[in-house]
């Protein structure tokens, strides 16, 4: 069904590898569009894969979608509100293979981790999108231009009303989380950290199951 997977490195990558357990090229990326750009260009330079899945976690802007919900993007909007569609045929094939996956999702690309519920609600009101993430639009645009068919499956890790620790403060220029800085931020935000941990656990478990469902699908 797919030839390659792009996923943020770390826990998301581990969930994907545990779920797939077969020979599919996996390309880990850092958090943010810069890392996504570098990964897509490096892969495209050596021959773009035919069918690509972009996956990982996302934040919800819609109260209907809660941590653990598996979503398939129909389109992703940039900061100017211009949408770019995913491949409908590949998306439909993945939906048939993944029980409970919800399609027709409108995503919004953001340039930072949105950690405050007030900002999420403002984005929801002004943009009308369902979810946010930082890498999918860049990957979709670059790989589509290189000739790949691209679908995006993301799993909700935090709801629209969930405040999170300030993870932007612990990101380095390569899009990696600094463990020591992360520990300090989490120490001073215990309730938000608990919420983040619970949501991420549910989301990663759903991500692993979703990829496992795709194993052996034509």
**Mind listing the pLDDT tens digit for each residue in 134-167?**
999 999 999 999 999 999 999 999 999 999 998 8
Residue 56 counted as domain residue:
yes
Question: Looking up tokens 């750009």, which residue turns up?
Answer: 37
Residue 71 counted as domain residue:
yes
Domain that holds residue 113: 4-162+201-214
**Mind listing the pLDDT tens digit for each residue in 7-62?**
999 999 999 999 997 779 999 999 988 999 999 999 998 888 999 999 999 999 99
Residue 174 counted as domain residue:
no
In which element (H, E) is residue 88 found? helix 88-97
Mean pLDDT of 99-114: 96
Q: Residue 187 class from Cβ within 10 Å (0-12 exposed, 13-18 middle, 19+ buried)?
A: exposed
- DSSP assigned state of 177: B
In which element (H, E) is residue 36 found? helix 33-45
- CATH number of domain containing 69: 3.40.50.1580
- What pLDDT score was predicted for residue 105? 98
Residue 114 counted as domain residue:
yes
- What pLDDT score was predicted for residue 139? 97
Name the band, by pLDDT with cuts 50, 70 and 90, for residue 184: confident
**Mind listing the pLDDT tens digit for each residue in 194-205?**
999 999 999 999
Nearest alpha-carbon partner for 94 in 142, 54, 129, 134: 54
What the block records as the tokens of 201 is 């656990």
Residue 191 counted as domain residue:
no
Give me the number of domains the chain comprises: 1
The 3-state DSSP class for residue 52 equals: strand
Nearest alpha-carbon partner for 86 in 122, 140, 154, 139: 140
Q: Is the dihedral of CA 129, 120, 112, 68 positive or negative?
A: negative
* Largest separation between any pair of C-alpha atoms in the chain: 48
- What pLDDT score was predicted for residue 183? 83
- Of the listed ranges 47-61, 110-124, 168-182, the one predicted with least confidence: 168-182
Name the band, by pLDDT with cuts 50, 70 and 90, for residue 216: low
Could you tell me the pTM of the whole model? 0.93
- What pLDDT score was predicted for residue 22? 74
């Amino acid at each position: 069904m797919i030839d390659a997977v792009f996923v943020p490195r770390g826990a998301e990558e581990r969930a994907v590898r545990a779920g797939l357990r077969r020979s599919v090229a996996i390309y880990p990326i850092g958090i943010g569009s810069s890392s996504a750009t570098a990964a897509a260009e490096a892969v495209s330079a050596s021959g773009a894969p035919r069918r690509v899945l972009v996956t990982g976690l996302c934040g919800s802007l819609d109260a209907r979608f809660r941590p653990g919900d598996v979503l398939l993007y129909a389109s992703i909007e940039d900061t100017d509100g211009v949408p770019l569609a995913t491949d409908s045929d590949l998306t439909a094939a993945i939906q048939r293979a993944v029980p409970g996956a919800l399609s027709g999702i409108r995503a919004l690309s953001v340039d930072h981790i949105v950690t405050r519920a007030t900002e999420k609600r403002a984005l929801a009101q002004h943009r009308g999108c369902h979810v946010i993430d930082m890498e999918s639009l860049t990957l979709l645009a670059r790989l589509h231009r290189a000739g790949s068919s691209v679908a995006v499956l993301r799993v909700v890790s935090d709801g629209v009303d969930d405040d999170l620790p300030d993870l932007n403060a612990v990101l380095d220029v390569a899009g990696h989380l600094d463990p020591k800085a992360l520990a300090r931020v989490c120490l001073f935000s215990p309730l938000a950290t608990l919420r983040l941990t619970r949501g991420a656990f549910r989301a990663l478990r759903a991500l692993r199951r979703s990829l496992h469902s795709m194993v052996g699908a034509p």
